[in-house]
């Protein structure tokens, strides 16, 4: 399975000590250089995400080949999202981990399957890797992760919580 990730799911999951769920769910995760830079190179000094992503040997940085596609999409989104979408397309990814609405819309247009941070936590709950989804989401929100109450309600309903 080929899984490409944008920055937000990495930072969100790492901030609550759950980055390892990605390895448990997907094995390996691929990221473009811009996502590595946003998370590690320019990440907040001392942040959990910076340390965990930098040391995760199951997260692989892959170079984008189609720079023209990146430049075309930069009018619509930031570099991390754009490189994630282009890399997913180049690798024929099975899944893209992304939360941002504009990026998710573009993935839908390209028929590339996507899952966000809450969807990842829901999947982990369904597989028994997380026991209480509500507390995980609350911890995520306390760490500064912004999510709509309607989405939280929908995800908790899907998890029977």
Best CA proximity match to 99, nearest among 142, 149, 148: 148
Q: Which fold has domain 3-158?
A: Rossmann fold (3.40.50)
Mean pLDDT, rounded, for 59-70: 96
| pLDDT tier, 44 (very low <50, low <70, confident <90, very high otherwise) | confident
- How far apart CA 74 and CA 85 sit, in angstroms, is 11
pLDDT tens readout for residues 96-148? 999 999 999 999 999 999 999 999 999 999 999 999 999 999 999 998 898 89
pTM of the model: 0.93
Best CA proximity match to 60, nearest among 87, 86, 79: 87
pLDDT greater than 70 at residue 79:
yes
CB-based contacts of 105: which residues, under 8 Å, 6+ apart? none
Q: What is the mean pLDDT of the chain?
A: 94
Residue ranges per domain, the chain?
A: 3-158
| pLDDT tier, 47 (very low <50, low <70, confident <90, very high otherwise) | confident
């Amino acid at each position: 399975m080929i899984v490409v990730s944008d920055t937000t799911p990495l930072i969100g999951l790492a901030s609550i000590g759950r980055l390892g769920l990605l390895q448990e769910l997907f094995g390996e995760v691929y990221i473009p250089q811009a996502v590595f830079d946003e998370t590690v190179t320019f990440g907040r000094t001392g942040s959990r995400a910076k340390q965990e992503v930098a040391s995760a040997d199951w997260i692989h940085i892959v170079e984008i080949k189609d720079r023209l596609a990146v430049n075309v999409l930069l009018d619509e989104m930031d570099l991390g999202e754009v490189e994630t979408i282009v890399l997913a397309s180049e690798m024929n990814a099975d899944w893209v981990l992304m939360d941002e609405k504009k990026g998710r819309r573009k993935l839908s247009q390209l028929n590339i399957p996507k899952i966000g941070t809450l969807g990842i936590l829901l999947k982990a709950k369904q597989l028994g890797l997380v026991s209480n989804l509500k507390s995980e989401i609350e911890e995520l929100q306390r760490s500064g992760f912004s999510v709509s109450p309607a989405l939280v309600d929908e995800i908790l309903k899907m998890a029977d919580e």
